[in-house]
Structure 1
């Protein structure tokens, strides 16, 4: 019998809060407040698509994960960016 306390793989992970956020910063961009967390290459195990350059972020690559830090944001709004693409984003 499966354990009931395990999260289903298709359930979104909760967004980390500032209380738990080592390395968590906040920025204003495009008229919204955003939470930004730096991820080390060691903690990166999946391939992500960077919205800044539309190229893959390979597993093991240090990068940032960004999400809206307001009541309008949800776990589905998280985006993984190359650190350099995030720094070079337009309007930021």
Structure 2
């Protein structure tokens, strides 16, 4: 009988070290960047999760639904996390890199 090349599934050992980190999956690769002496939180938005239209503050053009981009907000604001998050802006990835 010929050999099958189909994956057979993996056996789990039951330890938590191999479990997926759900928070990391839902947040993507969130990172903190410093620009002009200020800290910003940068959250990549995948094309699948880009469901709304935004205007990029870097170039003034539309970020259409389905276009990969980044959401950016202050990481060190004095008014708190909620105020910082409500002030987030969606940028084209290229526009954020050159800003």
TM-score (norm. length: structure 1): 0.69
Q: How many residues are paired up?
A: 71
Gaps of 5+ in 2: 1-23
Structure number with the higher helix fraction is 2
Gaps of 5+ in 1: 1-17
TM-score (norm. length: structure 2): 0.65
Q: Deviations over 1:48-89 (max 9, x none)?
A: 000000000000000000000124352221000000101111
Secondary structure at 1:54's aligned position in 2? Answer: coil
Q: Deviations over 1:29-53 (max 9, x none)?
A: 1221100011111101110000000
CA distance in 2 between counterparts of 1:57 and 1:76 reads: 19
Q: Kindly report the root-mean-square deviation, in angstroms, between the aligned alpha carbons of the 2 structures.
A: 1.8
Matches within 5 A, 1:1-92: 21-72=27-78, 73-89=83-99
